Amino acid sequence: MIVPVPDTHRTIDAVWKLESAKIIAGLTRMVHDVGLAEELAQDALVAALEQWPVSGIPDNPGAWLTTTAKRRAVDHIRRDRRLTHKQEQLAHELAQQREPDQGDVLRLMLISCHPVLPTEARAALTLRLLGGLTAEEIARAFLVTGAVIARRIAAAKRTLAERQVPFDLPDEAELTERLSSVLEVIYLIFNEGYSATSGDDLMRPGLCLEALRLGRLLAELAPQEAEVHALVALMEIQASRSAARTGPSGEPVQLHEQQRGRWDQLLIRRGFTAMLRARQVGGTSPGPYVLQAAIAVCHAQAATAEDTDWVRIAGLYGALAHLLPTPVVQLNRAVSLGMAYGPRAGLDLVDSLTADPALRDYHLLPSVRGDLLARLDRHQEARLEFHRAAALTRNAAERAFLERRADAIAGPDPTGPTLGEAARDFLARDDLDRATVRSYGQTLRRLCLALGDRRPLALLTAGQVAGVFATAWGAAAARTWNRHRSAVRSFGSWAGLDDLAAGLERRAETGSRAPALGPAQLDALCGRPDLPLRERTLWRLLYESGAGVKAVLSLNVEDLDLADRRAPAGGPGRRTWVSWRSGTAALLPGLLAGRTRGPVFLSDRRPGPARTPAPADLCPQTGRRRLSYERAEYLFKEATRSLDPAAGGYTLGRLRPGPAERVPHMLIDRA
């Protein structure tokens, strides 16, 4: 019987999500390339979409997809002369129709979560290979574009191929370390669904369900791993509260205010069962997920919020902090101490965390601090902290909740200007040029985020500013530190707070510069297949010209002399001629794509109505604005993280050859 086409497509989608991980795992074992394996599996999916609406759905659709994909794998290997010696072996395997075993799926999971990949790439690749999600589905879940996810996945596959990551189960010692990476990715996916970092909704249930499915699958693949069962227990119990976590309008409901009758008892029982299994297979020393699951069990066992055993929970967090002394664990420990021993005990620990750079923009730090201050009747301080937390979160539901908490605290409004109002007035002065406004704005935005833009200006102290500097720029280069210090001094002088920079000593600047990237490194960077043409052209031009970043970004299409390979940059009276060589010359026509006016290097999107740039910085043909210096630096840092031993990425200045290796490609005309 032929099923109607829409029903067939729904069936194919469901089968794909169930079977894709096994199919890709089996193919990876055959071809030893996870990227190629996924392409072959996708070919089989396309064949199903073409044939099943006509021929009908097979009795065993998973086996049909597996067989079709394996045949394509054999065809591919036969075309590859270097692998002809494997033809008979693989043909025999196909004839045997051996299904991918559970070990293959575990190997695929270990590869997709391999530590050589950045965390966000691991999550995307795992959802793609093991969840069967499309790039667009993953993008919607993480509120980015499909192109961003596609680039992450492509880069991850390329890294695995370049590093020649084997499709083998590691030995026992390495397996434990690799499993911890898998657990980290699964819990990251769950947390993004349970408490969305951005967007309008507090939760994304689809990600929670996918993480639970992956966790349960991993528990089947590694039944003797206590930490795997503990993670499943933790996620089951946390997911049981989902219906009670939001109010009628989607607003967050705090744990102690939730209606526990709405907690899903089936998920709680499943969590208890998984926790029992973790204890049965675990040793005498519990791991971090066992401890976190034990905390979740404590909450689930309490019939009411008042029955919660906070003393035990505080002890469990103490043990967890001993294993994982991270700032976030310590912050959660502070909450438990505040509940077990009073708000003063919790606030003392929170205050010790305020200088930690890892929590610099973490909205839960001021949120927790505000809650503890409110319980100590320090209401005005609490109000400022809730406002600051609201400014830091990117989730609309959570922001509205925090603003309501701040507004619910009664008290007089502060007299005089706030830090945010004063910063805006200072930057709106007519005597500041655009570059100065941009530079000063970076400093003042950081002060507003760190101290709260609603803090009364009269209460701003040099000690508070020094604390922000230590956290934000304590490890920065002397030049960066001094630039921000100069901004604070100017702002303080304008605001009548002359001692605002009293605790900031000027740092001695040295003339040394980091070595420039060599031609081989640049070729490797620009040769990445997923790298946009804009980045390839910009980086090549910076390298070949030796010009400054701002000079290159200021170039306009109408001023380019493509024949002579040069263009003017700079203002009247001092014009810099930027010239380039054949590498840039080959890329520029494709970048311009017929444009005749406007900036050479454009941003990805059109500006919003409230951020209309000057006409000189807007392309009349595309409506996009000139690429900013900050965005260009960010993209280069992200692309060069893998080259940087410190994993921080390089600045664009590394593309500029030093004096000893520089070819004179910049001439300066002085009027």
Nearest-angstrom CA–CA distance, 471 and 447: 11
Cα–Cα distances in angstroms (integers) from residue 107 to residues 24, 104, 222, 242, in the given order: 11, 5, 11, 32
As beta bridge partners, residue 395 has: 199
CB atoms closer than 10 angstroms to residue 96 = 8
Nearest-angstrom CA–CA distance, 556 and 538: 13
Nearest-angstrom CA–CA distance, 292 and 311: 15
Residue 244 has pLDDT above 50, yes or no: yes
Residue 386 is encoded by which pair of tokens?
């809730």
Give long-range contacts, CB 8 A cutoff, 24+ apart: 483-487. Answer: 483/439, 483/443, 484/442, 484/443, 484/446, 487/439, 487/440, 487/442, 487/443, 487/444
- Across 60-93, b (16+ Cβ under 10 Å) vs e yields ebbebbbbbbbbbbbebbeeeeeeeebeeebeeb
Residue 306 is encoded by which pair of tokens?
């008042």
Question: CA 168, 170, 172: angle at the middle one, nearest 5?
Answer: 145
Residue 82 has pLDDT above 60, yes or no: no
**pLDDT band per the 50, 70, 90 thresholds, residue 574:** very low
* Average per-residue pLDDT for the chain: 84
Query: What one-character DSSP code corresponds to residue 579?
Result: E
As beta bridge partners, residue 575 has: 669
The predicted structure's pLDDT at residue 659: 46
Taking each helix axis as running N to C, give the angle between helix 146-162 and helix 119-129, from 0 to 180 degrees, rounded to the nearest 10: 100
> What number of residues does the chain have?
671
**pLDDT band per the 50, 70, 90 thresholds, residue 494:** very high
Instruction: Using a pLDDT cut of 90, give the percent of the chain over it.
Output: 38
The predicted structure's pLDDT at residue 575: 60
The predicted structure's pLDDT at residue 185: 86
Lowest mean pLDDT among 227-236, 359-368, 408-417: 408-417
- Asked if residues 389 and 363 have their Cβ atoms less than 8 Å apart, the reply is yes
Nearest-angstrom CA–CA distance, 129 and 469: 43
Lowest mean pLDDT among 84-93, 103-112, 311-320, 497-506: 84-93
Helix and strand tally (H, E) in the chain? 28, 5
CB atoms closer than 10 angstroms to residue 541 = 26
SS3 content of the chain, % helix, strand, coil (to 5): 65, 5, 30
**pLDDT band per the 50, 70, 90 thresholds, residue 389:** very high
Instruction: Report the pLDDT averaged over residues 73-101.
Output: 57
The predicted structure's pLDDT at residue 668: 36
656 or 593: which leads in pLDDT:
593
- Asked if residues 136 and 146 have their Cβ atoms less than 8 Å apart, the reply is yes
Task: Give the residue among 113, 134, 110 at the shortest CA–CA distance from 123.
Answer: 113
Residue 448 has pLDDT above 70, yes or no: yes
Is 71 in a helix, a strand, or coil?
helix
**pLDDT band per the 50, 70, 90 thresholds, residue 97:** very low
Q: What is the enclosing helix (H) or strand (E) of 496?
A: none
Distant-in-sequence, close-in-space partners of 241: CB < 8 Å, separation ≥ 6 = 255, 258, 263, 264
Give long-range contacts, CB 8 A cutoff, 24+ apart: 210-215. Answer: 210/127, 210/131, 210/133, 211/186, 211/187, 211/235, 212/236, 212/239, 213/131, 214/109, 214/126, 214/130, 214/131, 214/186, 214/189, 215/186, 215/190
Instruction: Report the pLDDT averaged over residues 221-242.
Output: 94
When mean pLDDT is compared over 39-43, 210-214, 287-291, 324-328, the highest value belongs to 287-291
Task: Give the residue among 475, 526, 547, 548 at the shortest CA–CA distance from 640.
Answer: 526
The predicted structure's pLDDT at residue 143: 61
The predicted structure's pLDDT at residue 541: 93
Nearest-angstrom CA–CA distance, 568 and 578: 6
Is 227 in a helix, a strand, or coil?
helix
- Asked if residues 354 and 365 have their Cβ atoms less than 8 Å apart, the reply is yes
What does DSSP say about strands 394-395 and 198-199: parallel, antiparallel, or unpaired? Answer: parallel
Q: What one-letter code names the amino acid at 230?
A: A
Reduce the secondary structure of 81-121 to three states and give it as a string: HHHHHHHHHHHHHHHHCCCCCHHHHHHHHHHHCCCCCCHHH
532 or 571: which leads in pLDDT:
532
- Asked if residues 189 and 217 have their Cβ atoms less than 8 Å apart, the reply is no
The predicted structure's pLDDT at residue 511: 58
- Asked if residues 378 and 449 have their Cβ atoms less than 8 Å apart, the reply is no
Query: What one-character DSSP code corresponds to residue 431?
Result: T
656 or 180: which leads in pLDDT:
180
The predicted structure's pLDDT at residue 662: 42
The predicted structure's pLDDT at residue 671: 33
Instruction: Report the pLDDT averaged over residues 347-373.
Output: 92
Instruction: Report the pLDDT averaged over residues 59-80.
Output: 79
**pLDDT band per the 50, 70, 90 thresholds, residue 629:** confident
The predicted structure's pLDDT at residue 149: 87
Nearest-angstrom CA–CA distance, 77 and 90: 9
State the alpha helices, DSSP H only, in 143-264. Answer: 146-162, 172-194, 205-221, 226-239
